[in-house]
Amino acid sequence: MNKMALGNLLAVVLFVSLLGLGCLPSSSDRPGTYPVTGTVTYDGEAVEGATVAFQSVGGSHGAIGRTGAGGKYKLTTSVSGDGVIPGEYKVKIFKYKIDPAAAEDIMDEMYAPPDAGQMAAEPQNLLPAKYADAAKSGFTATVKEDGKNDFTFNMTD
Protein backbone atom coordinates (compact mmCIF):
# COMPACT_ATOMS: atom_id res chain seq x y z
CA MET A 1 0.00 0.00 0.00
CA ASN A 2 1.49 3.36 -0.91
CA LYS A 3 2.22 5.82 1.89
CA MET A 4 -0.25 8.48 0.67
CA ALA A 5 -3.18 6.04 0.49
CA LEU A 6 -2.34 4.58 3.88
CA GLY A 7 -1.95 8.06 5.39
CA ASN A 8 -5.31 9.22 4.02
CA LEU A 9 -7.05 6.09 5.23
CA LEU A 10 -5.51 6.30 8.69
CA ALA A 11 -6.34 10.01 9.01
CA VAL A 12 -10.02 9.35 8.33
CA VAL A 13 -10.16 6.36 10.69
CA LEU A 14 -8.39 8.25 13.49
CA PHE A 15 -10.58 11.34 13.13
CA VAL A 16 -13.81 9.34 13.10
CA SER A 17 -12.60 7.31 16.09
CA LEU A 18 -11.82 10.44 18.09
CA LEU A 19 -15.23 11.89 17.29
CA GLY A 20 -16.91 8.70 18.42
CA LEU A 21 -14.93 8.44 21.64
CA GLY A 22 -15.29 12.08 22.57
CA CYS A 23 -11.49 12.40 22.86
CA LEU A 24 -11.30 15.79 21.23
CA PRO A 25 -10.94 18.88 23.44
CA SER A 26 -14.08 20.19 25.13
CA SER A 27 -15.89 23.04 23.41
CA SER A 28 -14.48 25.60 25.88
CA ASP A 29 -10.92 24.55 24.93
CA ARG A 30 -11.42 24.65 21.16
CA PRO A 31 -10.89 27.68 18.95
CA GLY A 32 -13.95 29.11 17.20
CA THR A 33 -15.11 27.40 14.02
CA TYR A 34 -17.21 28.65 11.14
CA PRO A 35 -19.47 26.67 8.80
CA VAL A 36 -17.80 25.47 5.60
CA THR A 37 -19.77 23.87 2.81
CA GLY A 38 -19.29 23.26 -0.86
CA THR A 39 -19.49 20.96 -3.85
CA VAL A 40 -17.08 18.50 -5.44
CA THR A 41 -17.24 17.61 -9.14
CA TYR A 42 -15.13 15.46 -11.43
CA ASP A 43 -15.28 16.25 -15.15
CA GLY A 44 -18.44 18.27 -14.49
CA GLU A 45 -20.27 15.49 -12.60
CA ALA A 46 -21.07 15.63 -8.88
CA VAL A 47 -18.96 13.22 -6.80
CA GLU A 48 -20.78 11.37 -4.04
CA GLY A 49 -18.89 9.53 -1.29
CA ALA A 50 -15.60 11.45 -1.56
CA THR A 51 -13.66 12.67 1.46
CA VAL A 52 -12.74 16.38 1.50
CA ALA A 53 -9.90 17.24 3.90
CA PHE A 54 -8.67 20.75 4.71
CA GLN A 55 -5.10 20.89 6.09
CA SER A 56 -3.96 24.19 7.58
CA VAL A 57 -0.99 25.70 5.78
CA GLY A 58 0.87 25.66 9.10
CA GLY A 59 -0.10 22.03 9.58
CA SER A 60 -1.45 22.46 13.10
CA HIS A 61 -5.11 21.65 12.44
CA GLY A 62 -7.58 20.53 9.81
CA ALA A 63 -11.15 19.56 9.06
CA ILE A 64 -12.83 16.76 7.18
CA GLY A 65 -16.14 15.95 5.53
CA ARG A 66 -17.75 13.56 3.10
CA THR A 67 -19.71 14.41 -0.02
CA GLY A 68 -23.32 13.35 -0.27
CA ALA A 69 -25.91 13.69 -2.98
CA GLY A 70 -25.02 16.29 -5.57
CA GLY A 71 -21.39 16.29 -4.39
CA LYS A 72 -22.28 18.52 -1.42
CA TYR A 73 -20.17 18.49 1.73
CA LYS A 74 -20.08 20.10 5.18
CA LEU A 75 -16.82 20.12 7.15
CA THR A 76 -16.11 19.06 10.72
CA THR A 77 -13.22 20.02 12.97
CA SER A 78 -14.25 18.59 16.36
CA VAL A 79 -18.00 17.99 16.49
CA SER A 80 -20.06 16.84 13.52
CA GLY A 81 -20.70 19.78 11.19
CA ASP A 82 -19.12 22.39 13.48
CA GLY A 83 -17.06 23.96 10.69
CA VAL A 84 -13.47 25.07 10.34
CA ILE A 85 -11.04 27.29 12.25
CA PRO A 86 -10.40 30.47 10.18
CA GLY A 87 -7.23 30.45 8.13
CA GLU A 88 -5.46 29.28 4.98
CA TYR A 89 -5.83 25.66 3.93
CA LYS A 90 -4.55 23.22 1.36
CA VAL A 91 -7.22 20.76 0.25
CA LYS A 92 -7.15 17.11 -0.68
CA ILE A 93 -10.00 14.99 -2.00
CA PHE A 94 -10.09 11.21 -2.32
CA LYS A 95 -12.58 8.40 -2.72
CA TYR A 96 -11.41 4.87 -2.04
CA LYS A 97 -13.22 1.85 -3.35
CA ILE A 98 -14.39 -0.23 -0.41
CA ASP A 99 -14.98 -3.92 -0.85
CA PRO A 100 -18.17 -4.65 1.17
CA ALA A 101 -17.17 -8.32 1.53
CA ALA A 102 -13.80 -7.38 3.04
CA ALA A 103 -15.49 -4.96 5.45
CA GLU A 104 -17.87 -7.72 6.55
CA ASP A 105 -14.93 -10.12 7.05
CA ILE A 106 -13.27 -7.68 9.46
CA MET A 107 -16.48 -7.41 11.49
CA ASP A 108 -16.75 -11.22 11.74
CA GLU A 109 -15.73 -12.43 15.22
CA MET A 110 -13.76 -15.24 13.55
CA TYR A 111 -11.70 -12.79 11.48
CA ALA A 112 -7.98 -13.43 11.44
CA PRO A 113 -5.73 -10.73 9.98
CA PRO A 114 -3.38 -11.69 7.13
CA ASP A 115 0.05 -13.03 8.04
CA ALA A 116 2.52 -10.29 8.97
CA GLY A 117 4.62 -11.01 5.86
CA GLN A 118 1.62 -10.84 3.54
CA MET A 119 0.91 -7.51 1.84
CA ALA A 120 -2.63 -6.18 2.07
CA ALA A 121 -4.28 -5.16 -1.18
CA GLU A 122 -3.73 -1.49 -2.00
CA PRO A 123 -6.96 0.52 -1.77
CA GLN A 124 -8.10 1.91 -5.10
CA ASN A 125 -8.67 5.67 -5.28
CA LEU A 126 -11.52 6.31 -7.72
CA LEU A 127 -10.30 9.87 -8.38
CA PRO A 128 -7.03 11.07 -9.95
CA ALA A 129 -4.16 10.50 -7.48
CA LYS A 130 -2.94 14.11 -7.46
CA TYR A 131 -6.11 15.24 -5.66
CA ALA A 132 -5.38 12.90 -2.72
CA ASP A 133 -2.24 14.92 -1.91
CA ALA A 134 -2.84 18.42 -0.51
CA ALA A 135 0.56 19.56 -1.78
CA LYS A 136 -0.25 18.51 -5.36
CA SER A 137 -4.01 19.00 -5.69
CA GLY A 138 -3.79 22.70 -6.51
CA PHE A 139 -6.82 23.33 -4.28
CA THR A 140 -6.69 25.93 -1.53
CA ALA A 141 -9.27 27.69 0.62
CA THR A 142 -9.32 30.67 2.94
CA VAL A 143 -11.86 30.25 5.75
CA LYS A 144 -13.08 33.58 7.09
CA GLU A 145 -14.92 34.56 10.25
CA ASP A 146 -17.30 36.79 8.34
CA GLY A 147 -19.01 35.95 5.10
CA LYS A 148 -19.91 32.73 3.38
CA ASN A 149 -17.37 29.90 3.34
CA ASP A 150 -18.62 27.86 0.39
CA PHE A 151 -15.97 26.21 -1.79
CA THR A 152 -16.46 24.33 -5.05
CA PHE A 153 -13.70 22.00 -6.22
CA ASN A 154 -13.77 20.92 -9.85
CA MET A 155 -11.47 18.01 -10.62
CA THR A 156 -10.35 17.00 -14.11
CA ASP A 157 -7.99 14.39 -15.50
pLDDT, one tens digit per residue, over 80-109 is: 989 999 999 999 999 998 766 655 555 666
Is residue 4 classed exposed, middle or buried when 0-12, 13-18 and 19+ CB atoms within 10 A define those classes?
A: middle
Residue type at position 15: F
Which residues are within 8 A (CB) of 117 and not within 5 positions of it... i.e. 6 or more apart? Answer: none
| pTM listed for this prediction | 0.73
Alpha-carbon distance 153 to 150, whole Å? 10
Task: Dump pLDDT digits (tens) for 127-140.
Answer: 999 999 999 999 99
Q: Domains of the chain, with CATH numbers?
A: 3-23+31-105+123-155 (2.60.40.10)
